[in-house]
Amino acid sequence: MNEILNLNPKCIWKNFYALTQVPRPSGHLEKIQQFLLDFGKQAGVEVFKDPAGNIVMRKPASAGMENRKGVILQAHMDMVPQKTPESTHNFETDPIQPWIDGEWVKAKGTTLGADNGIGVAAIMAVMEDKTLKHGPIDALITADEETGMYGANDLPEGELQGDILMNLDSEHWGKFVIGSAGGIDVTATLDYQEVETDQEDAAVKVSVSGLRGGHSGLEINEGRGNANKLLVQIVREAISETEARLASWNGGNMRNAIPFKAEAVLTLPKENIAALKEMAEEWKETFNDEFKLIEPQGIEVHVEEVATPAKEVPVEIQDNLIDAIFACHDGVIRYIPAYPSVVETSSNLAIINIEGGHATIKILARSSREDMKDYVTTMLESCFSMAGMKVETSGSYGGWDPNPDSEVLHLLLKEYKELFGQDGIIQVDHAGLECSVILGKYPHLDVVSFGPTMKSPHTTSERCLIETIAPFWELLKKALEDVPVK
């Protein structure tokens, strides 16, 4: 793993490796916040934690550059905690184990945290490098981006001092993002009174696994399988054909990750277990045929006999929940008419927990149009309201409207062409970026997002393309040097 430290540019890789050794899953950021505070002090720059939990660093202009526009370098400190089924990793205490696999850096059994650790590492490199030429720089490292952009949403007005915002949270080298979708969390809940299980019944755990999962913004257009949506097809038929009853359901664990695993515990007469197992095998064949070009690694469906639970979901509640999960839209709803290859509106049926008298279903809806975001929210609310569930929304953020006349965009495109001999690509993302939230508080900012190439963020296949880090660093340094005067 120390091979990471020998990669170039060392200033970024050493900082990224240091970040991997500090636990930083969303919602548990005390250790990384202290790490960044200590780093800022050691680098000799102003550093503080704001009331939202963000870390802010300030570096004055280098000699002769005092008249340049101020730049805000922005990334988020938290990472998505996903691990393989066999992993015993504890994200709150254990370091990530990065390793080199050919041209990629990956992690052993977990997400890598290059989203957005590489951006943070680049900011750290800028803060500690005394040889760079630049105007005044603010660094904004936000808290809990992955779970609701809480750090950006609670960012105090008047805290930032720059004119230009360079967001370092994009994942395609050579593409410069100037717009992104808005999003909203939709949560449906229901409390119910459990009923006694027929103790003559047996119980099985039905699981769907082996899916690729993925980022619900960047990869929702690929049609990847959603474990919750696959499992509901099996459960619905099991209830209809084998007298099964639902005892519990657990699927997905992150609002912005396509769920790659889901499982349900069902009770049923002992004599029907064989039929259920046969049914599961048939569904496995169906799923693998349906997704053979999208999930080529193979989808697994398992039925395991387990101890019979004492209680289960009442029939009428069970049927309503299953119908709602089946009916809930998941995936792309519409593409942008003017850019038919770009997703406009989508929803991700992210998390289902049904157990112990309480049901919770969480969906992340995205759209680059506010009216369509309202539409999909109402659609989801209608679906779960018909099942008798209470539906609430939270964490709403608007889309980032593209500005093709951005001065910093054209500066980056010019320098990209001069440095690398090819044209950069202007892009609008379906994934949500904090730029829209920050612009809401600082509307004067000129904003662009860029970064090195990463694949499969929010999954255990997350990886960073080594060869893109050096040019990313060269472009960032050059852009800071050439920032226009005020």
At which of 353, 374, 397 does a domain end?
Answer: 397
Report if residue 486 sits inside a domain: no
Q: Are residues 162 and 255 in the same domain?
A: no
Q: Looking at the 3D structure of the chain, how many domains does it have?
A: 2
204 pLDDT higher than 60: yes
Name the DSSP class of 456. Answer: S
Per-residue confidence (pLDDT) for residue 473, from 0 to 100: 98
Q: Are residues 188 and 167 in the same domain?
A: no
Distance from the Cα of residue 450 to its chain's centroid:
17
Per-residue confidence (pLDDT) for residue 431, from 0 to 100: 86
Per-residue confidence (pLDDT) for residue 1, from 0 to 100: 56
161 pLDDT higher than 90: yes
Contacts of 149 (CB under 8 A, 6+ apart): 142, 395, 397, 432, 434, 437
Taking residues 44-56, what's their average pLDDT?
98
Report if residue 223 sits inside a domain: yes
CA angle 325, 330, 352 (to 5 degrees): 45
The stretches of 45-183 forming alpha helices (DSSP H) are 114-128, 150-153
At which of 363, 397, 431 does a domain end?
Answer: 397
Q: What is the pLDDT of residues 298-321, one digit of tens each?
A: 999 999 999 999 999 999 999 999
- pTM for this one? 0.83
Domain of 382, CATH number, reads 3.30.70.360
Residue type at 80 in one-letter notation: V
CA distance 179 to 152: 17
Report if residue 391 sits inside a domain: yes
402 pLDDT higher than 70: yes
Q: What is the pLDDT of residues 255-287, one digit of tens each?
A: 999 999 999 999 999 999 999 999 999 999 999
At which of 364, 397, 430 does a domain end?
Answer: 397
CA distance 355 to 194: 9
Confirm if 228 and 263 have CB atoms less than 8 A apart: no
Answer yes or no: 295 catalytic.
no
Report if residue 190 sits inside a domain: yes
Domain of 171, CATH number, reads 3.40.630.10
Q: Are residues 167 and 239 in the same domain?
A: no
333 pLDDT higher than 80: yes
Taking residues 316-344, what's their average pLDDT?
94
For residue 22, the enclosing domain spans: 2-181+399-481
Report if residue 9 sits inside a domain: yes
Percent of the residues in the chain that have a pLDDT greater than 70, as a whole number: 100
Report if residue 281 sits inside a domain: yes
Q: Exposed e or buried b for every residue in 233-263, given b needs 16+ CB within 10 A?
A: ebbbbbbeebbbbbbbbbbbbbbbbbbbbbb
Answer yes or no: 145 catalytic.
yes
Q: What is the pLDDT of residues 135-148, one digit of tens each?
A: 999 999 999 999 88
Confirm if 181 and 366 have CB atoms less than 8 A apart: yes
Q: Are residues 142 and 283 in the same domain?
A: no
Residue written as tokens 């990065």?
98
Per-residue confidence (pLDDT) for residue 148, from 0 to 100: 85
> Which neighbouring-strand residues pair with 207?
263, 302
342 pLDDT higher than 90: no
Report if residue 296 sits inside a domain: yes
Q: Are residues 443 and 304 in the same domain?
A: no
Q: Is the bond leading into 9 cis (omega within 30 degrees of zero)?
A: yes
Catalytic residue among 115, 145, 169, 446: 145
Q: How confident is residue 383, by pLDDT bands cut at 50, 70 and 90?
A: very high
Closest C-alpha among 358, 369, 269, 275 to residue 313: 358
Percent of the residues in the chain that have a pLDDT greater than 90, as a whole number: 93
> Any long-range contacts for 82-86 (C-beta under 8 Å, 24+ apart)?
82/110, 82/111, 82/213, 82/253, 82/254, 82/257, 82/458, 82/459, 82/460, 83/109, 83/110, 83/111, 83/460, 84/109, 84/110, 84/460, 85/209, 85/261
Q: Are residues 63 and 89 in the same domain?
A: yes
Report if residue 290 sits inside a domain: yes
Name the DSSP class of 369. Answer: S
Quote the tokens at residue 216.
């619900």
423 pLDDT higher than 70: yes
Coil, strand, or helix at residue 34? helix
Distance from the Cα of residue 464 to its chain's centroid:
15
Quote the tokens at residue 120.
């943070």
Q: Are residues 123 and 20 in the same domain?
A: yes
Q: Are residues 62 and 191 in the same domain?
A: no
Q: Are residues 383 and 441 in the same domain?
A: no
Q: What is the pLDDT of residues 72-130, one digit of tens each?
A: 999 999 999 999 989 999 999 999 999 999 999 999 999 999 999 999 999 999 999 99
User: In which element (H, E) is residue 286 found?
Assistant: helix 273-290
Q: Are residues 332 and 383 in the same domain?
A: yes
Q: How confident is residue 339, by pLDDT bands cut at 50, 70 and 90?
A: confident
Quote the tokens at residue 341.
């290859």
Q: Are residues 226 and 374 in the same domain?
A: yes
Pairing of strands 104-107, 463-465: antiparallel
Per-residue confidence (pLDDT) for residue 230, from 0 to 100: 98
Quote the tokens at residue 434.
């904090």
Q: Are residues 245 and 297 in the same domain?
A: yes
17 pLDDT higher than 80: yes
